[in-house]
Chains A and B, each alone.
Chain A
Amino acid sequence: MKRIKNISLFLISIILTTGVTYADEIRRIVSLAPSLTINLQYLESEDRLVGCTSYCHTNRKVEIVASAVKVNIEKVVTMKPDLVITTLLTDNETIEILRKIGIRVVVYPKCKSFNDICSQFLDLGKLIGKEDLALTIINRSGNKVEQLKKSITYGQRTKVFFQIGADPIFAVLPDSFMDDYINFAGAQNIASGMTTGFITRESVLLRNPDVIFIVTMGIAEVEEKKNWEKVEGLNATKGKRIFIIDSEKACNPTPVTFVETLETIIKLTYGK
């Protein structure tokens, strides 16, 4: 099913972009989001990266053009990029000014599902002339995901709490791609009815999750794990299923890390 979707996406994008080839002209790229930088790395195009943020991880030295809060627009301009890619993390004014100067800016909205991750990855691949590689990666990831999904025997649905914030506690919401971790693992997100991610400790206890995943947040995750382990009546505590997950792997919307994380999640949830 997913495969058909991917192929049709591919066909549509081919049809739409026939006659319009930007791909060859993209030699200098500026990335204003760490997740996009990672995507570029998977697409074997880090060599074309000429500017990134101060919190991107790169294998070679790349000029820094932005901090967590502000983009140095002039610096971006001096890098003479053919393309600037960013997410909604960048403020509108910056994007407007860059476009006014005549720089091409592509903004990727928030990924709400694994599908989104794949289609954005494909879009980026198409943009920089790496469609084939992108497709390969997507297909491989998609296949692996199907495999993992089939490996689960559906029985009682495990209740999962995926914590991505401490003080205040923040849960993964249904409209985030991270919710797919839980869904594909055949489990149920205790935050499924919520619209905003802030959840009180009491609410978590009320919903009594069977498994708790906490992403790394500096050092806070260790404290949080201890806090949950103190609650004896909690299912997750009784079953000793409170785990810490690497946020680099879990929180970045890229196909490869998604699959790796999903694998880990399933392994930890069902103890295989």
Chain B
Amino acid sequence: MNKDYLKIENLICGYDNFYLDSLNFGIRKGDFAGIIGPNGSGKTTLFKAITGELKIKKGIITLNENILTQLSIREKARNIALVTQQTDPVDISVEDYVLMGRMPYRSDFQFFETKEDFEIAEKYMRLTDVFRFKDKLMNQLSGGERQLAGIARALAQEPQLLLLDEPTSQLDISHQIHVLNLVQDLNIKMGLTVLMIIHDLNLASEYCDFLLLMNEGKLWKKGTPVEVLDYRTIEDVYKTVVFTQENPLSKKPAIFLVSNKIIAQSKKHE
């Protein structure tokens, strides 16, 4: 019952000067997992290994017990959708852009979209609040609006596993909460498995059931937010002084930053 839906075994993969070193972890179906870690710790590299953009040197990645490298490109696209950090400022209308998410369900040579395609696209455009721009071109939107469109496109793929690479980095607070609520909704109601790279530790703590802390290409710690977001661990990895406390409403750890001014002040008091 608790079989891993996405399983990473002994993964070694990367570039000449940087690579992931024997990663091992598993995510169950319906998990909302977060990947956190400092810049350059290998988070995006891990995503590239999963999507196949980077060739795996050693190790196996399985999805629902299917070895990923053995799936066809189309099958992979129906199961895994990726939202990258880079938005696409192209001269394509938002509607056409979101409709591209339906490509895995059409043959290469199918010329026109189906009625169903249009309906699905509309549904997700409304959910992400980009329907009002549907005729505008992507390069006419702001970065945040493009990010929402990107999420709509990924959702239109109706994947089993959703990979999000910093989906909220360019959004204001209300849109950040809006998007994360939406994803959480889909996770709870539709059983969408989500793996999300996120910088904001508090958002990670609030929304994710399960966290993977990466550092220098290795998996530093994995577990629930309470287990992972311990202030000593954070200091070790991020080399920053922080202060943690339990969020009284959600019972999840909340992280408070400590500025130099405060450190100086507290030293005076000692």
A–B direct touch in complex (beta carbons closer than 8 A):
no
Q: Which residues of B contact A (CB under 8 A)?
A: none
